[in-house]
Amino acid sequence: MSTTSSREPAILQVRVKLLGVSKPSVWRRLLVGHEMRLDQLHEVVQVAMGWCNHHMHVFCTDACEYGVPDSELGFLDERQMMLCQLLSGPGDRIQYTYDFGDVWQHEVALEKVLDEDPGQALPICTAGKGACPPEDCGGVWGYARLQEVLADPSDGEHAHMLGWLELESASDFDAAAFEIDAVNETLGHLSAVR
Same domain as 142, residue 98: no
Is residue 113 in a domain? yes
Task: Name the domain count of the chain.
Answer: 2
pTM here?
Answer: 0.91
Q: pLDDT digits over 26-39, tens only?
A: 999 999 999 999 99
33 located within any domain:
yes
**80-89 pLDDT per residue, tens:** 999 999 998 9
Same domain, 114 and 152: no
- Establish if 118 belongs to a structural domain: yes
DSSP line for 83-152: HHHH--STT-EEEEEE-TTTTEEEEEEEEEEEE--TTS-SSEEEEEESPPPPTTS-HHHHHHHHHHHHH-
Q: Do 64 and 155 share a domain, yes or no?
A: no
2 lies in a domain?
Answer: no
Domain with 185, as residue range(s), is 10-131+174-190
Higher pLDDT pick, 194 / 17: 17
For residue 147, is it within any domain?
Answer: yes
End-to-end distance of the chain based on CA atoms, in angstroms? 21
In a domain, 3, yes or no: no
126/52 same-domain check = yes
Q: Which of 110, 78, 79 is nearest to 97 (CA)?
A: 78
